Structure 1
Amino acid sequence: MLINDTLQLLSSVLLFLFVMGQVKFAIVYCVPLLFISTATFQNTPLILATMSLERYVAIFYPLQRPAAWRSDRIWIIILSLWLISCIFPIIDYSIWKRDPSVDVLSTPVLCKSIVVNSSPIQTLFKAAVSVLFFAVVAVIILFTYVRILLETRKLRQDRVSVSKAMHTVLLHGFQLLLCMLAFTSPITETLIVLHANWLPQDVAFFNYFCFMLIPRFLSPLIYGFRDQTLRGYVGKTFLCCSNKVKPPNLSYS
């Protein structure tokens, strides 16, 4: 998740800076950045669903865990998630109808998603894929959370591990909500245009900062504060910084 979010932030920040700075370059250099940004964005809900299923399998089938869930073979699942998240951008770009007046190798353009997603078919395909991804992940997280919650009420022993698993799945649901904030940008753009006289650049920066950057920054912070060692270290650091420095007690004889 951290690697995926890091790639998402790097690619999206570069794209945002290029657009805000009106930097133009050929489509052949723009497509890789757009591809990484789209693939990592779609990979996030898949990772959340997989982590929830892993907690579910660990609670209900501790002795019958599939071989792919073992730590030495987890790369199989990671590779499968990346392949699934990369397939849909490839299909999207394959149905792209290129403008004859634009040379892919030499014509400078603003690197925006509309450059390679200009047809209505691509827009519909992208919306359908996004809705499908988040709907499937929401169902998986809700199913695993309800099952683990019911199992917590039944068990009298080992309630601590089951409770931790339930909190983990609930955390994944919260992360999914943070990811879905990216789809609210058209609504916020309309509201800002109607009620405030903001420049288009200001609206774009507000949406990007609130609905793309902040959710990606909150995700590692939430996971970090769940660790007792890190939480204790941060608490000690802030307590040390908050203590007032007392003046030395100087006594003169």
Structure 2
Amino acid sequence: MNKIYTFLCLLFVFFASSCVSNKDLTYLQGANKNENQSSIEVVPLKPYRVQVNDVLSIKLKALDQKLVEMFNSSTSGSAPNSTDALYFDGFTVNDHGNIRVPVLGEIAVLGLTLEEIRAKVEKQLLDEYFNKEADLFVLVKLAGLRYTTNGEVSSPGTKTLFQDKVTILEAIANSGDITITGNRKEVVLVRQYPHGTEIHTLDLTSVDAVKSPYYYIQPNDYIYVKPIKQKTWGFGVNGLQSVTTILSALSLVITTYLLINR
């Protein structure tokens, strides 16, 4: 009888430890439940500074559009906002931190914000090719926000979103969300900086993640979701799978024992 009790206790321990808790699956926990609306102080988003391999979209407008046709990229043969069109017709920042613009030639943009690049291009055009009467309008944008997700997500891979700001939760949602075997408490963010690569970790189950300076992703970010320990152990991720796994293992042990002692 003692052996039966011991076995049941062990079965209960395995069952409890192998199941994934609801706290491990819920995002942004910790908000005040007594209020209908919870106010969270979000960290101010700093202007993005252009890095090597970024692709920029530069559009010029003027009273006489024929004057700026040579500067504007052609997107014939593909959708204007498609990734392929922007890759081939956009302005890629080379290893020296420059972009090549028709007529203007090489322009140093590394480390500059989009607004600083716009002002720089506009000033050079006004100084060398246009006058104020041309009513020149310059628009500079990133040619999509490109990032990569890997690990325990439903749809890993590289994706491009045509938005100015994207949170890490939006990026993960666009990758099909984290699977039930993904560790939401230790999501790794690998980010490129002019001085090198840095690795940051976010706990997406805590509401404090919204206050993190890494809550908003940047171009070329790499997001990796680790597996939880239950997947490493090989147990099920819910009660039914856990019981099935344990009973299957127990049946195999009993069968083997009976065959050996027959």
Query: Under a length normalisation based on structure 2, what TM-score does the superposition of the two structures give?
Result: 0.22
Q: Which structure shows the bigger proportion of residues in helix conformation?
A: 1
Query: Under a length normalisation based on structure 1, what TM-score does the superposition of the two structures give?
Result: 0.23
